[in-house]
Amino acid sequence: MRYIIAALQITRAALAMTAVADVWVLMLLHLPGEKPLLHPLWQFLTAGLSALFLYAFGMSLNDVLDARRDRVFAPWRPLPAGRMTAPAATILSLCLLLMGLFCAGALGAIQNQSVIPWPLLVAFGSAALIVFYNGVGKFLGPVGLITLGLIRACNCLMGNVHAHNFLPSMVLMSHVILFSVIGYRLESKRPRLRQRDYVLLFAVPLTLLVGMIGVMAYWHELNARWLRLGLGPIVVAVSFYAFVAWKIFQHRQEPRQRGEQIIRLGMFCMFIYDGSILLANGQYEAALLILVLFTLSLGLFYLMKSIGRGLPAVKPHYRMRSKMG
């Protein structure tokens, strides 16, 4: 049983549901005024599993590569705490990658809409970005933060690579970059962000967003009805970042704790973004499905949190042993 708990912890299983919601919302979403596309159950299943496995792969790979650092800064995690061995975590990570790619390939075979296996190509792109981020990107400041957003954008398109899905995926990408920057700053991560880094972090998502709008306009898929779909995400964004601003100026918690909490809340907010898009489009039953995923994710999160309270308390230690001692 403890191995299952360790696997759920190392893969961040509760937050992995956000990746599933992002894939499903773009499979369910249809252009305003048009009939929805019909996706068989197997397409939803394979697309959701591919997103779930790739997210879990990224999280487990992160812990495998950071095992030495986590012994000092995060000793409560499964690897430094001894609840899972490094070889077992490595095998788990590779299995998750293979299963994610397999499900994406199966999705492409089920759809059979084009000679180009789009789901598999998108999955390969997501996996490549995940490896880049964990191996190099997270040490490059703004490059790593932008990579996180690109991973989310690729994940969104797994089930339905279509021009009208580019705009929502860019919105979700921008959200990931923004709350990640806030968390990065509050947690005092290295390297420190400079003024030009903030300019880059603002310019790249904005350029991609404008570019996607241009692509949709070129393919005649941009119309005034899209403004209605934007109302939901706008309300969610204003509410969330107003709360974040209030949280930043609180002094009841240490900045690092506030940063971790903002990142966690930003991830759960992805469900609200997804549901608001569907609600604004009048797809109430589809929005209910996202709500179910959100409930499952939240329930699993609190379950893992309660299990974590029963584990031995391990605190980080920052005191370095002197060579002269």
Q: What is the pLDDT of residues 114-133, one digit of tens each?
A: 677 889 999 999 999 999 99
Query: Cα separation of 125 and 48, whole Å?
Result: 17
* Residue 320: predicted pLDDT: 40
* Residue 163: predicted pLDDT: 62
User: For residue 134, which amino acid is it?
Assistant: N
- Smallest CA-to-CA distance from 268 within 57, 17, 79, 12 is with 17
**The two three-digit tokens of residue 313, written as one number:** 């308390």
* Residue 63: predicted pLDDT: 94
Longest CA–CA separation in the chain, Å: 74
Q: 320 Cβ partners below 8 Å, 6+ apart?
A: none
Query: Cα separation of 201 and 290, whole Å?
Result: 29
* Residue 50: predicted pLDDT: 97
3-state SS string for the chain: CHHHHHHHHHCCHHHHHHHHHHHHHHHHCCCCCCCCCCCCHHHHHHHHHHHHHHHHHHHHHHHHHCHHHHHHHCCCCHHHHCCCCHHHHHHHHHHHHHHHHHHHHHHHHHHCCCCCCHHHHHHHHHHHHHHHHHHCHHHCCHHHHHHHHHHHHHHHCCCCCCHHHHHHHHHHHHHHHHHHHHHHHHCCCCCCCCHHHHHHHHHHHHHHHHHHHHHHHHCCCCCCCHHHHHHHHHHHHHHHHHHHHHHHCCCCCCHHHHHHHHHHHHHHHHHHHHHHHHHHCCCHHHHHHHHHHHHHHHHHHHHHHHHHHCCCCCCCCCCCCCCCC
Q: Rg of the chain's alpha carbons, rounded to an integer?
A: 20
Distance of CA 5 to the CA centre of its chain: 21
* Residue 38: predicted pLDDT: 65
Query: Cα separation of 167 and 187, whole Å?
Result: 30
Cα distances from 247 to residues 151, 260, 267, 301, in angstroms, run 27, 12, 16, 21
Q: Is 306 exposed, middle or buried (0-12, 13-18, 19+ CB in 10 A)?
A: exposed
* Residue 74: predicted pLDDT: 80
* Residue 311: predicted pLDDT: 59
User: For residue 313, which amino acid is it?
Assistant: A
Residue ranges for the chain with pLDDT beneath 70: 31-39, 113-114, 163-164, 223-225, 309-325
Look up tokens 């596309």; give the residue: 37
* Residue 37: predicted pLDDT: 63
Angle at 182 (CA atoms; ends 228, 243), nearest 5 degrees: 55
pLDDT tens track for 216-268: 777 777 766 677 778 888 899 999 999 999 988 877 778 888 899 999 999 99
